[in-house]
């Protein structure tokens, strides 16, 4: 009886050692490999999206995307940004109406000519507005903030499009009531909008110029 008990103890100890020793390392190395693959695939498959399904991004997911944004590296950790999130279609449509009103009907770039046009933020149902506190690193910092957000969004299958084109309109006299509604602090300048939503298109990757990269020996 005693021998059988000893045998069980040795077997148990063996299993315990196996689970704490080499095999565990192998498991963690394997998961690292897949983690790298997941991250790299996510970065290489993200595209700017300009056609979306109707539904806004759930705020819970949006909060994670925003958190990933503000954890971006930034010069001296100054975080020279302010961020406003709008998923109320009334506000986005109101801005769009004003934007279109100021546009020449004959302008070939008038988005009204596009049958899929929904709003001036590349049709996105959720829009993040970013204002910047001017400074040496600020544009780079806000770019990194935006980069983290679009890549985090894509991990959730959420498409996005960074947009600087709305800057001129957002700084115009007619957009003033909306800019005030966004209530950026004194000293902050509107910089960009980022549209988010569930993609309704699957664009090909835009070509990249690989020759721009060189290792120097």
Ligand X SMILES: Cc1cc2nc3c(=O)[nH]c(=O)nc-3n(C[C@H](O)[C@H](O)[C@H](O)COP(=O)(O)O)c2cc1C
Answer for which of 3, 109, 206, 212 binds ligand X (CB under 6 A) is 206
DSSP string, 161-209: EEE-THHHHHTSSTTHHHHHHHTPPTT-EEEEEEEEE-BS--PPPPP--
Find where tokens 């010069």 sit. Answer: 75
Helices (H), 21-88: 22-45, 59-70
Sign for the CA dihedral angle at 43, 47, 48, 49 comes to negative
> Does 138 engage in binding with ligand X (CB under 6 A)?
no
**With respect to ligand X, which residue has the nearer C-beta, 34 or 202?**
202
Q: Which residue is nearest to ligand X (CB)?
A: 165
126/160 Cα distance (integer angstroms): 9
Site for ligand X, residues 139 to 178, rule: CB under 6 A? 161-165
Size of site (CB under 6 A) for ligand X: 10
> Does 48 engage in binding with ligand X (CB under 6 A)?
yes
The least CB distance from residue 122 to ligand X, in Å, is: 5
> Does 212 engage in binding with ligand X (CB under 6 A)?
no
The least CB distance from residue 111 to ligand X, in Å, is: 11
**With respect to ligand X, which residue has the nearer C-beta, 148 or 163?**
163
Residue 92 gets the label, from left (phi > 0), alpha (psi -120 to 50) or beta, of alpha
| Chain residues in the site for ligand X (CB under 6 A) | 47-48, 50, 122, 161-165, 206
């Amino acid at each position: 009886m005693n021998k059988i008990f000893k045998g069980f103890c040795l077997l148990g100890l063996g299993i315990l050692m196996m689970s704490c020793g080499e095999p565990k390392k192998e498991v963690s190395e394997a998961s690292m490999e897949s983690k790298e693959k997941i991250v790299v695939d996510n970065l290489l498959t993200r595209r700017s999206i300009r056609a979306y399904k109707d539904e806004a991004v759930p705020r819970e997911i949006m909060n994670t995307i925003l958190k990933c944004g503000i954890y971006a590296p930034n010069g001296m950790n100054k975080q020279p940004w302010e961020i406003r999130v709008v998923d109320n279609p009334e506000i986005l449509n109101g801005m769009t109406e004003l934007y279109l009103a100021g546009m020449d009907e004959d302008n070939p770039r008038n988005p009204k000519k596009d049958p899929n046009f929904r709003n001036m933020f590349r049709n996105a149902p959720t829009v993040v507005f970013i204002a910047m506190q001017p400074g040496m690193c600020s544009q780079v910092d806000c770019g990194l903030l935006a980069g983290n957000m679009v890549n985090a969004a894509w991990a959730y299958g959420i498409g996005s499009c960074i947009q600087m084109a709305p800057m001129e309109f957002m700084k115009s006299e007619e957009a003033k009531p909306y800019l005030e509604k966004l209530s950026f602090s004194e000293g902050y300048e509107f910089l960009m909008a980022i549209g988010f939503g569930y993609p309704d298109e699957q664009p090909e990757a835009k070509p990249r110029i690989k020759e721009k990269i060189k290792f120097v020996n």
